[in-house]
Structure 1
Amino acid sequence: MRDFSQAPFLVIWEVTQACDLACKHCRASARPDRDPGELSLEEARATLRQIKDFGDPLLVFTGGDPLKRPDLFELLRESVALGLRTTVTPSATPLLTEDAVSRIQDCGVSRMAVSLDGADAAAHDSFRQVAGSYDRTMAALRHAARIGLETQINTTVTRHNMGSLDRIAQVVGEEKARLWSVFFLVVTGRASLADDLTAEEYEQVFEYLYQTSLTASFDIKTTEAQHYRRYVAQRRKAQGGGAGPRMAGAPAGIIQRQAGINDGKGFLFISHTGEIFPSGFLEVSAGNVRRTPLQQAYCDSGLFRVLRNSDALVGKCGGCEYRNLCGGSRSRAFALTGDYLESDPRCSYVPASAA
C-alpha cells in the first residue's frame, strides 16, 4: 500500500464556487456570482506551481462551475504545461457549448467529467433544479466522443436515484464514458439527511456496483464510500481471491489504485479562496495557500498527520481489520458526529475484534 505522507495522489481544486445550477445536494451551496475573495490569476498560477512541487498528482479543476472563471482555459493550459495530469468538471449550463468542450481538449486535459444524477431529463433536471441540464450533459458527452476527448460521468447516490442506478449505468455505457465515478452523500452544504441512504442500503448499492463492474465497458470508482473497498475485499476473500496486492479482476484494479486513500490521506482539497482542506466535504482548514505552503499543510499539519494515522481512529473503525484499506469516510464521520476520527455511521460492518 502506498505511503501518502509526502504527497497526495489526488488534488481537487475548487477554482470558483460560482455556478448557474442549484443542485439539491451541492456541497458548495454554489451561487451564480463569483466570490470576490477567489484566488487571483497570479495566485492561481502560484498554486499550480505548489501542486507540481508534490510531483505528479492527479489534478481536478472543479467548482461550482469552473467555466465561470474567464481565465479557466489559461489555467488548464498552464497545468498541462507543468506536466500535471489534468481533468476538469464543468457544469451542464449554457456555458458548456461545443466550442467550450473543444477548447478543453485543445488545452491538453486528459479527461472531462460531467454529472448525471438521473437516467432521463425529468429525473436529472429535477435534481439539478435547472431545465435543460440533462440535454446539455448529453450534448457535451457526445461532442467529446466525436472529437476524441475522454470523459467520465459523476453520479451522486441519494434516495431519489438509488432505484435507477441500472438505467444511469446504461447511459454511461452508451455514451462511452471511461469511468463512472459514484459519489455517496455527505450531509454538507445543501445536502439533506433525509436524502441519504441507510448503512444497509449502502451495502445494497455496493453489491450492485460490484456486479456491474464485472462486465461493464467502463471503470467504476467510489467517492466517500471508502467501505466499498472493504466490501470488495470481503467478496474476493469469500471467492478465494484474497485481498492482497495481486488482486486481479475488474473491481480489484480500481480498488488497488484507491487502496488507503482517504480524506487528508492521499487526498487534498483547495477551496476557491485558497483554504487547504482534507476534502471538500471536510471543511476543517490546515491553512491557506496565500499564507501556508501547500506541502507544509499537507505533510506537517496536525490535522493531515492525524488523518493519515489509522491508529488514531476511534469506535469500530479504530478496531477494524480493514482500517488501512478503508478507514471509513472521515468527512461523513465529521458531518454526522462532529468528530472526524469517529466511525463512519453509514458502515454496517462489525469488525472481527467486536464480533
Structure 2
Amino acid sequence: MDTKKNLIVPPLRMIAWEVTRTCNLNCIHCRASADLGPYPGELSREECLRLIDDVASFSKPVVILTGGEPLLRNDIFEIAAYGNKRGLRMVMAVNGTLLNPQNIKKMKDAGIQRISVSLDGATPETHDEFRRVKGAFAGAIKGIEQAKAEELEFQINTTITRQNLKEIAEIHNVAKKLGAKAHHIFVLVPTGRGKEIEKEQEVSPEEYDKVLHWFCEQEDKTFLQLKATCAPQYYRMREEIRGEHPKDFVHGSSPLDRKTPGC
C-alpha cells in the first residue's frame, strides 16, 4: 500500500511574505532586523510574479505582504494586483507611518482588502520607544485615521513584551476607538533583533497566560475579531472559561482570523 497516495494534505491557507527588509523604523523586536537598506538578494518584480503563479497553481491562500515596510517597495501595488488577479487574497502589514490618501487609493485599486497596523504601546512614549523613532505613534494613528476615512478595513497587531505588558488593555481600547476590525496579539519571536532583547523583554509563561485569559474574556465585550497568534493554549483557556470546544474560527469569520493549533 502506497501511504503517500492516502495522505490528506490540508490546503495552504495563509502566507506571510516578507517582500522587503527595507524599513523606515528600527523596532527593537524586528525579526528581520530591518533598516533602510537597500538589501541585496531581494526578489525582483518578475520573480515575485512567478512566485505568485507558483502559489496560485495549487492553492488560493491569504497572502500577507509584509517586511520591513512593504510600502517602501515601488512595485508593491503591481505585486498585490497580480496576486488578486490570480485569485489570491492579498493583504498588507504596514507600520502606518507612510499611509496617505494616495497610496491607500492604490491599495484599494490593487485589491487590498485589509491592512494591519502594529501598535505596541497605547501612548507615544511607549510605542515610539518600541519603534525607536520619535513620532512613530502619531504617524501610525494619522495613517490609521486616513485608512478609516478611505474605508479601507484595518486591524491592530500587538507584540506582547515586558515593556507594554501593563498597557495591553489600553492598546485594545485604542483599537476599538479607532474603529479597527480586529485585534491580534503576538508573542515575542526571538530572532533578528528580537533575539537581542529576549532576556529583557520576553514575558513569563504565567504572565502570558494572564494576558490570554483576559483576552479571552473580552470576546463577549467587544465587536473586534480577536486572535492570539502562536498560542495553542488559548484553546484550553477558552474551553475552561467559556465551556466551548475549540473551533476553527474564534470570534470572527474572516480567513484572517482563522485559528490553527500553534499559529
Question: Normalising to structure 1: TM-score of the pair?
Answer: 0.67
Specify the SS of the correspondent of 1:36: coil
Task: Please tell me the residue identity of whatever aligns with 2:218.
Answer: T
- Root mean square deviation, CA, Å: 2.3
Query: Which structure is higher in RCO with an 8 Å CA cutoff and minimum separation 6?
Result: 1
In 1, Cα distance between equivalents of 2:85 and 2:187: 33
Residue 158 (str. 1) matches residue 164 (str. 2): no
Gaps of 5+ in 2: 1-6
Residue matched to 1:243:
245
Task: Please tell me the residue identity of whatever aligns with 1:208.
Answer: W
Residue 134 (str. 1) matches residue 140 (str. 2): no
In 2, Cα distance between equivalents of 1:71 and 1:4: 37
Alignment of 1:74-85 (within 5 A): 74-85=78-89
Specify the SS of the correspondent of 2:258: helix
Residue matched to 1:42:
46
Residue matched to 1:257:
258
Cα offset, 1:244, TM superposition: 5.4
Residue 213 (str. 1) matches residue 219 (str. 2): yes
Q: 1:24 to 1:173 in 2, by over 3 A?
A: same
Cα offset, 1:253, TM superposition: 9.6
Cα offset, 1:251, TM superposition: 7.9
Deviations, residues 172-209 of structure 1 (Å, cap 9, x unaligned): 00111111111111211112122011010011001110
In 1, Cα distance between equivalents of 2:87 and 2:245: 33
Equivalent of 2:123 in 104, 120, 123:
120
Residue matched to 2:28:
24
Alignment of 1:1-355 (within 5 A): 5-93=9-97, 95-191=98-194, 192-193=197-198, 194-236=200-242, 241-243=243-245, 250=251, 257-260=258-261, 262=263
Cα offset, 1:108, TM superposition: 1.3
Aligned residue pairs total: 253
Q: 1:6 to 1:190 in 2, by over 3 A?
A: same
* Aligned residues of 1:28 and 1:189 also touching (Cα < 8 A): yes
Q: 1:106 to 1:251 in 2, by over 3 A?
A: closer
* Aligned residues of 1:60 and 1:87 also touching (Cα < 8 A): yes
Task: Please tell me the residue identity of whatever aligns with 1:120.
Answer: T
Deviations, residues 126-154 of structure 1 (Å, cap 9, x unaligned): 11011111111111111111111100111
In 2, Cα distance between equivalents of 1:213 and 1:31: 36
Specify the SS of the correspondent of 2:214: helix
Aligned-pair identity (%): 33
In 1, Cα distance between equivalents of 2:215 and 2:175: 13
In 1, Cα distance between equivalents of 2:163 and 2:122: 11
* Aligned residues of 1:150 and 1:177 also touching (Cα < 8 A): yes
Specify the SS of the correspondent of 1:258: coil
Q: 1:200 to 1:253 in 2, by over 3 A?
A: farther
Cα offset, 1:63, TM superposition: 0.2
Deviations, residues 29-67 of structure 1 (Å, cap 9, x unaligned): 002112120011110000111121232211100000111
In 2, Cα distance between equivalents of 1:75 and 1:220: 28
Deviations, residues 219-242 of structure 1 (Å, cap 9, x unaligned): 111222222222212323xxxx34
Q: 1:140 to 1:253 in 2, by over 3 A?
A: closer
Task: Please tell me the residue identity of whatever aligns with 2:258.
Answer: R
Cα offset, 1:211, TM superposition: 1.2
Cα offset, 1:105, TM superposition: 1.7
In 1, Cα distance between equivalents of 2:46 and 2:249: 45
Gaps of 5+ in 1: 263-355
* Aligned residues of 1:88 and 1:113 also touching (Cα < 8 A): yes
* Aligned residues of 1:173 and 1:218 also touching (Cα < 8 A): yes
Task: Please tell me the residue identity of whatever aligns with 2:69.
Answer: D
Q: 1:148 to 1:92 in 2, by over 3 A?
A: closer
Q: 1:173 to 1:213 in 2, by over 3 A?
A: same
Task: Please tell me the residue identity of whatever aligns with 1:221.
Answer: K
In 1, Cα distance between equivalents of 2:100 and 2:117: 13
* Aligned residues of 1:214 and 1:249 also touching (Cα < 8 A): no
